[in-house]
Amino acid sequence: MPSTRTRILAGLVVCVLAAAAVSWAAEADVEQAMKDLPKYEFGQSRAQLTLIQETLRAAEPAKRTDLCNRLAALLSSGATDAAKRWVCRQLSIFGTEAQVPQLAPLLVDEQLSDMARYALERIEHPSAVEAMRKALASAKPGQKIGLINSLGVRRDEKAVDDLVKALQGGDQPTATAAARALAKIGGPKAVEALADMRTKAEGDLLAVVRDAYLQCADGLLAAGKAAQAAEMYQQMYKPDLPKHVRTAALRGIVAAGGEKTMPLLTEILTGNDTEMQASALRFLREVAGPEITKALTDLLPKLPPETQAMMLADLGARGDPAALPAVAKAVASDNEAVKKAAVLALGQLGDASTLPALTALAAGGPCADEARQALDTLPAANVNPAMIEQAKSAEPNVRKEVIRSLGARGVTAAVPVLVQAARADDKAVRQEAFRSLEKLAGSQAVPELVALVVNPKDAEDRPAAQRALATVAGRCPEKEACASAMLAALDAAPADAKAALLQTLPAAGTDKALAALKKCVGSDDEKVRDAAIRSLADWPDPAAAPDLLAIAQTVEKTAHQVLALRGYIRLAGSESLKADQRLQMYKDAMAAAKRPDEKKQVLGGLGGVKAVAALEMVIPALDDAALQKEACAAAVAIAKNLGGQGKPVIVEAMKKVLAISKDKRLNGEAQTLLKKAGG
């Protein structure tokens, strides 16, 4: 009897041999694919090509190089063009300098020049670029253009002399390609050649040369050679050049800076070419610097109103507070467009000193909307404390605007003041306070919010207080503390207040809160009972489900029956429940449902259950005319996710769907499912 050790060793040997056998088999498949590859034609199966590709992808570097070499060898064989094209595509992804010698001759091949270039353009080795450069001399015009393009992509500086010759040659398409390539490569020779051609080229070539020249200038600017770039841009900002070229040159002039920039901008901004003015201001946004801001603010009052309005917008966008005095002055303008633009700009540049002006404007008038927007965006750090002060005691129209803005600005430090404002004499102030509290308050404010629900300044405020409390409780992680505060006030609260508090309990969602709700379901007071059932129906987890079902099964009032059942059905969809629990709940719900709407809701939920039993539950509904549409959708949705289980049930269900459904898409899916299930 072999020892344990012997048996283990034997097992290991078997495993190794089996793995080797699998590997040898895979190798054999690849070898076969390599043998068949030279005969490949378009339209044939690519399965073997895919196998080779995957082998390349998964191979270690040495093995990959070996495979690439073997593929490259096919390029000079009698393999089909289709095979060679495919090889070039693979080499463009996986190739290395080792395959350059095989690819290079194809650069002047009638059929394969482009594909060879595909590969060489992407092989990151000087030999690939060199091969393309050398091929220029013997390439035909179409091939030459492709080579020039690739040399441009590779930024081949050694090709510049050849490219300059091509640029200056008489063939326009070749010259065009050369101009683009020189633009990508850049450098003094490229710039000089393009500058020269600007005076000689015509038509399409001239447009390309100008663009290339601008691109070279951009390259110099990016390399920190602003003065040289500026000189080039100035050459392109001539009145006889097309407007879009001058626009591009203007952008460069602005970006490069220099002593000529502001005089030019002044000329444009005080002129009447509104398109260039808009462009100039847009480009100025990309350039920081106090001297630009000063130049613009000095210019502002001299401009016509339309241009002033544009510039104010751009001063705001620049965000340099040095512009604030000029912008504040413009708020007093008689021109409405200028005034509005100035108000908006204040919102981007202002500080606490601008609050009085903005709050006064926000309280009413033609710029109220802009002023509100500005209040919400005021950037400075001293603004929030100043706003909080105003929220305490300003005149009501101003106070409500400030309170609104504190909410929009997210100033949580304002919460204590907002709580006080929720009891202000002015109704609009109170309403804004509740809205802002809803956004800002945290768990510390819950007791005060509870107090506001129970005892608001005015009973009309209770809904807003209730909403704020619910939102805050929903947001707070300290659920038990929130619930405790609510429950502490619940028993003693009068009916209206109690009803409102009950509707906030789902937001807390604790066991004690649920217990309180359940207790109130049996209340003698109709309002309290109604609120308790509504809240139970909104409960966030399945803990409320048994009570909801009991209510749905026993309560007489239809509204409560429907609410409870809908809540129950909603909870049946909870992801925390297992499939069999959900199924049971849907079954109970279907039995309790008296109206089609709730039955449809059940069917909708069943559609998400991946179980044969769910499909079995849906089938009877397919016979009910009132439910057929939803039942069909649910049946198909379930069947799609059964993964081959329950085929007889699928067949039964899909046949019924096909018999009754008029939805073409659904029927197509049902047909497919029926076929898969063997029907």
Partner 1 sequence: MVTLRLTRRRLLRAAPAAVIVVPRYVLGGPGHTPPSAVPTRATVGTGAVGMIHVLANTPDAPPVQVAVCDVDRRRLAAAAAKAGRGCRAIADFRRIMDRTDVDVVVVATPPHWHALVTLAAVRAGKDVLCEKPFTRSIAEGRAVADAARRYGRVVCVHTMGRDGPWRTLRKAVTAGVLGRPLTVRLGPASGFGFKVRTWLGRTDLAPQPVPAALDYDFWLGPAPEQPYHPHRVHRTFRGYWDYDGGGLTDMGQHWLDGVHYALGLDDAGPVHVSADGPQPAHADAVGPWRRAVIEYADGTRITLESGEAEVVGRGGERGAEAERYQAPFPEKPDTRQTPGRPDAAPAPFVEGPAGRAFFDPRRHRLTFDPPHFGEVVDACVEPPATIEFPEAVTTRSSAPTRLPGAEAAHRSVTPLHLANLAIRLGRAIRWDPSAERVVGDDAAECLVNPPMRPPWHL
Residues 79-108, interacting with partner 1 (CB under 8 A)? 85, 89, 92-94
> Contacting partner 1 (CB under 8 A), which of 125, 165, 260, 282?
282
**Smaller CB separation from partner 1, 380 or 525:** 380
Q: Is 273 in the site for partner 1 (CB under 8 A)?
A: yes
Q: Is the separation of the CB atoms in 478 and 517 below 8 Å?
A: no
Composition of the chain by helix, strand, coil, percent to 5 = 80, 0, 20
- The distance of closest approach from Cβ of residue 554 to partner 1 in the complex, given in angstroms and rounded to an integer, is 24
Binding mask 364-383 for partner 1 (x = CB under 8 A): ---------x--xx------
Cα–Cα distance list, 504 to 154, 215, 559 (Å): 66, 63, 20
User: In the window 23-42, what residues touch partner 1 (CB under 8 A)?
Assistant: 42
Shortest distance (Å) from residue 677 CB to partner 1: 13
Identify the CA nearest to 281 among candidates 309, 242, 244.
Answer: 309
Q: Which of 278, 322, 380, 451 binds partner 1 (CB under 8 A)?
A: 278
Position 448, amino acid: E
Query: CA torsion 570→574→577→578, rounded to 10°?
Result: 90
Span 451-470, contacts to partner 1 by CB under 8 A: 467, 470
Cα 540 from Cα 147, distance rounded (Å): 66
- Amino acid of residue 446: V
Beta-carbon contacts of residue 209 (< 8 Å; ≥ 6 apart): 167, 179, 194, 197, 198, 201
119: which DSSP letter? H
How far is residue 160's CA from residue 133's CA, in Å, rounded to a whole number?
10
Binding to partner 1, residues 160-199 (CB under 8 A): 173, 176-177, 180-181
152 binds partner 1 (CB under 8 A): yes
Distance CA 519, CA 511 (A): 12
Looking at residue 240, the DSSP 8-state letter turns out to be T
379-409 CB burial, b ≥16 within 10 A, e <16: eeeebbebbbebbeebeeebbbbbbbbbbeb
- Binding pattern to partner 1, positions 315-334, x when CB under 8 A? --x-----------------
- Nearest to 640, CA basis, from 606, 673, 615, 617: 673
Smallest gap from Cβ 283 to partner 1, in A, equals 8
Residue 337 binding partner 1, by CB under 8 A? yes
Binds partner 1 by CB under 8 A, chosen from 133, 340, 430, 534? 340
Among 37, 74, 99, 143, binds partner 1 (CB under 8 A): 143
x-or-dash string of contact with partner 1, 509-548, rule CB under 8 A: ----------------------------------------
Return the ∠ at Cα 199 (arms to 195 and 203), rounded to 5°: 110
Please give the residues from 614 up to 673 whose contact with partner 1 meets the rule CB under 8 A.
629-630, 633-634, 637, 640-641, 665, 668
**Exposed, middle or buried: residue 109 (CB in 10 Å: 0-12, 13-18, 19+)?**
middle
Among 40, 233, 283, 539, the residue binding partner 1 under the rule CB under 8 A is: 283
Closest approach of partner 1 to the CB of residue 243, in Å: 5
The least distance separating partner 1 from the CB of residue 186, rounded to whole angstroms, comes to 15
Binding of partner 1 at residue 207 (CB under 8 A)? yes
By beta-carbon proximity to partner 1, the closer residue of 456 and 607 is: 607
Other C-beta atoms closer than 10 Å to the C-beta of 64 total 17
Judged by beta carbon, residue 313 or residue 564, the one nearer partner 1 is: 313
State the minimum distance, in angstroms, from the CB of residue 11 to partner 1.
Answer: 30
281 lies in the binding site for partner 1 (CB under 8 A):
yes
**Rounded least distance, CB 370 to partner 1, Å:** 9
Which span (4-12, 66-74, 116-124, 494-502) binds partner 1, by CB under 8 A? 116-124
Number of chain residues interacting with partner 1 (CB under 8 A): 105
Choosing from 77, 138, 272, 382, the residue that interacts with partner 1 (CB under 8 A) is 272
User: According to the binding rule CB under 8 A, does residue 601 interact with partner 1?
Assistant: yes
Q: Please identify, using beta-carbon distances, which residue of 454 and 473 lies nearer to partner 1.
A: 473
DSSP structure string for 428-495: HHHHHHHHHHHHH--GGGHHHHHHHHHS-SSGGGHHHHHHHHHHHHHH-S-HHHHHHHHHHHHTTS-H
What amino acid occupies position 464? A
Which of 535, 559, 407 is closest to 483 using CA atoms?
A: 535
247 touches partner 1 (CB under 8 A): yes
Give Cα 150 distance to the centre of its chain: 34
* Binds partner 1 (CB under 8 A): choice among 27, 31, 124, 267: 124
Shortest separation between residue 6's beta carbon and partner 1, angstroms: 39
Binds partner 1 by CB under 8 A, chosen from 100, 132, 303, 313 = 313
Asked if 576 is part of the footprint of partner 1 (rule: CB under 8 A), the reply reads: no
Sign, CA dihedral 214-216-221-226, equals negative
Query: What does the radius of gyration of the chain's CA atoms come to, in whole angstroms?
Result: 39
Distance CA 245, CA 208 (A): 11
Residue 16 or 243 having the CB closest to partner 1: 243
Answer yes or no whether residue 51 interacts with partner 1 by CB under 8 A.
yes
Backbone phi and psi for residue 139, each to the nearest 5 degrees, phi listed first: -80, 150
- Kindly identify the residues of this chain, within the stretch 432-451, that bind partner 1 according to CB under 8 A: 435, 438-439
Told to check if 407 binds partner 1 by CB under 8 A, we report yes
Say which residue the tokens 């020269």 belong to. Answer: 196
